[in-house]
């Protein structure tokens, strides 16, 4: 941790070694029950001080825009910022390996015992609760759209919901049609 790198606020911040990247993301992965990103902020901004608030917010925005798992993209962004491709690999490995082993254990247990009567109840409760958390996520993301009082983003959100959720159309076709329309509309509005 002897090197330093100027952050966007001009302050010098520690440059984590490859092993620290691995361990930092491992810590985040294992503490992040039910969603990892809030823990990532606490670990990297507050505890380890690799990033300042603005770096983190910009990395977040990019993660949400990039395809694929947000937190894995965060690993690539933060890792490559300090150590290029090697940093990205170490961060993603730290993030994925331990949870993957846990997940595979769960998979094996479910394949073997998933039908047991004693597990039916807890699993059904868990599934109902997980559905509720998804409803919350959608609602929390919709709130700023409603507050902005702009009908067009809401209309595109509704179109996506109807096409995929109610009509069960294949996602590829929905994206192929709706994404150019939605982006084109935003482009036109920016004039």
How many angstroms separate the CA atoms of 179 and 185, rounded? Answer: 10
With contacts defined by CB under 8 A, name the span among 9-17, 43-51, 181-189 that binds other proteins: 181-189
183 interacts with other proteins by CB under 8 A: yes
Residue 70: both structure tokens together: 């947000």
**Which lies closer to other proteins via its Cβ, residue 10 or residue 172?**
172
How many angstroms separate the CA atoms of 122 and 54, rounded? Answer: 41
10 interacts with other proteins by CB under 8 A: no
14 interacts with other proteins by CB under 8 A: no
**Which lies closer to other proteins via its Cβ, residue 14 or residue 69?**
69
Q: How buried is residue 181: exposed, middle or buried, by Cβ count under 10 Å (0-12/13-18/19+)? A: exposed
C-alpha distance across the termini of the chain, in Å: 47
Shortest Å distance, C-beta 60 to other proteins: 11
With contacts defined by CB under 8 A, name the span among 14-22, 46-54, 165-173 that binds other proteins: 165-173
Residue with token string 């001009």? 10
**Which lies closer to other proteins via its Cβ, residue 1 or residue 118?**
118
Compute CA 41 distance to the chain's CA centroid, rounded to the nearest angstrom: 12
122 interacts with other proteins by CB under 8 A: yes
How many other CB atoms are there within 10 angstroms of residue 52's CB atom?
Answer: 16
**Window 17 to 76, contacts with other proteins (CB under 8 A):** 29-36, 61-62, 64-73, 75-76
Contacts of 64 (CB under 8 A, 6+ apart): 70
145 interacts with other proteins by CB under 8 A: yes
154 interacts with other proteins by CB under 8 A: yes
**Which lies closer to other proteins via its Cβ, residue 2 or residue 10?**
10
**Which lies closer to other proteins via its Cβ, residue 48 or residue 91?**
91
Residue 55: both structure tokens together: 């770096």
Among 21, 51, 77, 90, binds other proteins (CB under 8 A): 77
151 interacts with other proteins by CB under 8 A: no
DSSP 191: -
Per-position DSSP letters for 115-157, written without gaps between them = T-HHHHHHHHHHHHHHHHHHHHHHHHHHHHHHHTT-HHHHHHH
With contacts defined by CB under 8 A, name the span among 13-21, 49-57, 166-174 that binds other proteins: 166-174
């Amino acid at each position: 941790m002897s090197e330093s790198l100027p952050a966007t606020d001009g302050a010098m911040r520690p440059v984590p070694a490859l092993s620290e990247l691995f361990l930092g993301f491992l810590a985040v992965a294992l503490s992040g029950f039910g969603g990892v990103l809030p823990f990532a902020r606490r670990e990297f901004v507050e505890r380890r001080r690799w990033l300042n608030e603005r770096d983190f917010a910009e990395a977040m925005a990019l993660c949400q825009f990039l395809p694929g798992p947000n937190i894995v993209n965060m690993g690539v962004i933060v890792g490559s910022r300090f150590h290029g491709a090697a940093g990205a690999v170490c961060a993603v490995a730290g993030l994925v390996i331990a949870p993957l082993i846990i997940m595979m254990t769960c998979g094996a247990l479910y394949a073997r015992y998933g039908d047991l009567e004693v597990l039916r109840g807890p699993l059904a409760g868990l599934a109902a609760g997980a559905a509720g958390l998804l409803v919350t996520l959608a609602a929390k993301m919709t709130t700023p759209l409603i507050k902005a009082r702009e009908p067009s983003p809401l209309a595109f959100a509704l179109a996506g919901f109807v096409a995929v959720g109610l009509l069960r159309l294949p996602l590829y076709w929905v994206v192929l049609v709706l994404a150019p329309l939605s982006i084109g509309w935003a482009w036109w509005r920016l004039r």
